[in-house]
Amino acid sequence: MLKPPGKDAAKVYIRTFGCQMNEYDSDRMADLLAASEGLSRAQTPEEADLILFNTCSVREKAAEKVFSDLGKVRELKARNPRLLIGVGGCVASQEGASIVARAPYVDIVFGPQTLHRLPELIRQRRRTGQAQIDIRFPEIEKFDALPAPSVKGASAFVSIMEGCSKYCSFCVVPYTRGEEVSRTFDEVIGEVAELTAQGVREVTLLGQNVNAWRGPTDPQAQAAGLAPIADFATLLEYVCAIPGIERVRYTTSHPREFTPTLIEAYRRLPKLVSHVHLPVQSGSDRILAAMKRGYTVLEYKAIVRRLRAARPDICISSDFIVGFPGETEADFAATLRLAGEVGFDDSYSFIYSARPGTPAADLNDDTPQAIKLERLKRLQALIEQQARSISQAMLGSVQPVLIEGRSRRNPAELCGRTDNNRTVNFAPPTNVLAGQCEPIIGRFTNLKITEVLAHSLRGVWVESHPHGPVWSNENASDCSHQSSV
């Protein structure tokens, strides 16, 4: 339908802003448009017949950035009147029709929950000549309308829920992506099983708060009031049991629903990686209460302590907001103290950014930006140093690694990823010629870590495990070496 006369195939260019959820959504848009419109992916906006911006409004002046980027593609439309331009994601959700009012050359505006309607919106736009806007939150119908995902490589994301109902006082997500809605148990298990048929060995379950996931395992029995509702720990158990799946990750989890059964899962499920991303945001109870996070520092530390009792080598990473309105030097010192006590691995930290429409945006914020920046740098320096010592502690250990492909720097070598997300470069085993590595890409192996570099590790092949990693906690590095929690 989008195919221009004289051209072989129409193409879509997707520019993604923000988190892994948006990356996932962009890939699903590409799958959908390939299946329904025959569009392939363009590498540059210049070669595209459809340009989509998948936006994020979690921080900073995201809307301004989108308008500035839209301005840059406007001239392409002047050259190619058939070109369609769409804006999706959280900025679209927030701004809606005002995007078209301000940039009348935009043809389609769609939200995170209506991206499955893109083919219909494109058709309507062509038919009516009018810009199409759909930013509703229809109850998770999106997944019913999307084609089966196509993946390259042995690692894939699987969205298990949409939206967020936590309403942290600083965050726009509940307003832009809607309330928490879980995909059904059958859909998630079915999608993971389908991915294994395409060679996937590692899945990352995605959601704003994956541990809020709930679903009846048998919807018919549930309708009759007979089936228990499964929780996230049960879902993990079933995902780990799918033949072919050898490693399971998830992101993001929330401390409020980090239940004892989820902690127990770390004892029972060796395929669950020894790495968890558990956003804490601040180490001050006063600030956590103002953020409406729903836990105290003590409660957070109790989760960490129990997790480490269940899985001694677990690495914990986090999200932090520095300079929340009213944050004093003492509050920030408490954050630094907590970061040191937990011994966080590589984490995300952001300066607070007031988001229009959120309760925190009305709070008096009198900390100068320079002080916020200086606090951010101190926190980042501490966490970087901790992440380095975690890498150092891995030296000499044997790590299960999923071989992802050839090394970027040296194509005669291979690279893979450890449980705690370190890239390891290594020479192929002597019985595999450098030119014939493809059969082992996508498989797990055990590597002995021989060198720690600034952004990667080096390792040597110890043994290959055709059916996945042989995991033993004696093998693993101990990320809790510097934790006092």
Burial of 319 (0-12, 13-18, 19+ CB in 10 A): middle
Going across the sheet that includes 40-41, the strands are 40-41, 11-16, 50-55, 84-88, 108-110, 132-134
Q: Binding string, 259-298, against ligand F3S, x = CB under 6 A? A: ----------------------------------------
Cα dihedral 391, 393, 398, 404 in deg (nearest 10): -10
Q: Which of residues 13-52 bind ligand SAM (CB under 6 A)?
A: 19
Upstream peptide bond of 423 is cis (omega within 30 degrees of 0): no
* Gap between the Cα atoms of 172 and 92, Å rounded: 13
Contact residue for ligand SAM among 55, 182, 208, 284 (CB under 6 A)? 208
**Shortest Å, Cβ 389 to ligand SAM:** 23
Contacting range for ligand F3S; rule: CB under 6 A; set: 30-38, 124-132, 144-152, 161-169: 161-169
Contact residue for ligand F3S among 209, 274, 282, 391 (CB under 6 A)? 209
Whose Cβ is closer to ligand SAM: residue 236's or residue 376's? 376
174 contacts which partner out of ligand SAM, ligand F3S, none, CB within 5 to 8 A by kind? ligand F3S
Residue 372 touches ligand SAM, criterion: CB under 6 A: no
Contact residue for ligand SAM among 209, 317, 347, 391 (CB under 6 A)? 209
350 contacts which partner out of ligand F3S, ligand SAM, none, CB within 5 to 8 A by kind? ligand SAM
Q: Which of residues 313-342 bind ligand SAM (CB under 6 A)?
A: 319, 321
355 contacts which partner out of ligand SAM, ligand F3S, none, CB within 5 to 8 A by kind? ligand SAM
* Gap between the Cα atoms of 12 and 473, Å rounded: 46
Q: Which of residues 163-182 bind ligand F3S (CB under 6 A)?
A: 164, 166-168, 171, 173-174
133 contacts which partner out of ligand F3S, ligand SAM, none, CB within 5 to 8 A by kind? none
244 contacts which partner out of ligand F3S, ligand SAM, none, CB within 5 to 8 A by kind? none
Q: How many residues bind ligand F3S (CB under 6 A)?
A: 10
Residue 210 touches ligand F3S, criterion: CB under 6 A: no
Residue 200 touches ligand F3S, criterion: CB under 6 A: no
Whose Cβ is closer to ligand SAM: residue 91's or residue 131's? 91
* Gap between the Cα atoms of 445 and 461, Å rounded: 7
Residue 58 touches ligand SAM, criterion: CB under 6 A: yes
Q: Which of residues 140-199 bind ligand SAM (CB under 6 A)?
A: 170-171, 173
User: Are the CB atoms for 242 and 464 separated by under 8 Å?
Assistant: no
CA-based diameter of the chain, in Å?
67
**Shortest Å, Cβ 166 to ligand SAM:** 7
Residue 212 touches ligand F3S, criterion: CB under 6 A: no
Burial of 429 (0-12, 13-18, 19+ CB in 10 A): middle
352 contacts which partner out of ligand SAM, ligand F3S, none, CB within 5 to 8 A by kind? ligand SAM
**Shortest Å, Cβ 256 to ligand SAM:** 8
Q: Binding string, 277-316, against ligand SAM, x = CB under 6 A? A: --x-x-----------------------------------
Q: How many CB atoms lie within 10 A of CB 430?
A: 7
Q: Binding string, 241-260, against ligand F3S, x = CB under 6 A? A: -------------x------
List residues binding ligand F3S (CB under 6 A): 164, 166-168, 171, 173-174, 208-209, 254
Residues that bind ligand SAM (CB under 6 A): 19, 58-59, 170-171, 173, 208-209, 252, 254, 279, 281, 319, 321, 350, 352-353, 355
